[in-house]
Amino acid sequence: MQQAPASPPTQARNPLHGVTLEAMVTALQAHYGWDELGQRIHIRCFVLDPSVASSLKFLRKTPWAREKVESLYLFMLREQKRAAH
């Protein structure tokens, strides 16, 4: 009797699962604004003539910057959850 192949691990506890990079950048910009976002993560696409499109172009090519954005997004979600309670 053969066992069925193992199913991929679920992402139920991963708050980033299903969230696009565009959604993260848009939410961060709406929450912090470009000025504060540029202060929190000092990258050119947030500081000089910022836009969602230019940010996405840079972040898709730069893993370290994307990690910083994901980290700040998770921090923002935790802060919002705390404020709601």
Query: Domain range for residue 58?
Result: 21-84
42 part of a folded domain: yes
The total domain count for the chain is 1
Per the prediction, the chain carries an average pLDDT of: 89
pTM score over 0.85: no
What does the alpha-carbon distance between residue 27 and residue 25 come to, in Å, rounded to a whole number? Answer: 6
pLDDT recorded at residue 1: 57
Query: What percent of the residues of the chain are helix, what percent strand, and what percent coil, each to the nearest 5?
Result: 65, 0, 35
Q: Judge whether 49 lies within some domain.
A: yes
4 pLDDT more than 90: no
User: Is the residue at 12 inside a domain?
Assistant: no
Helices and strands of the chain, counted as H and E runs? 4, 0
In a domain, 78, yes or no: yes
- Residue 8: inside a domain: no
Q: Dump pLDDT digits (tens) for 48-72.
A: 999 999 999 999 999 999 999 999 9
Instruction: Please give the distance of CA 43 from its chain centroid, rounded to a whole number.
Output: 15
- The verdict on residue 79 lying in a domain is yes
Least confident range from 9-13, 37-41, 63-67, 70-74: namely 9-13
Residue 69 counted as domain residue: yes
Is residue 16, in this structure, part of any structural domain at all?
Answer: no
CB atoms within 10 A of CB 70: 16
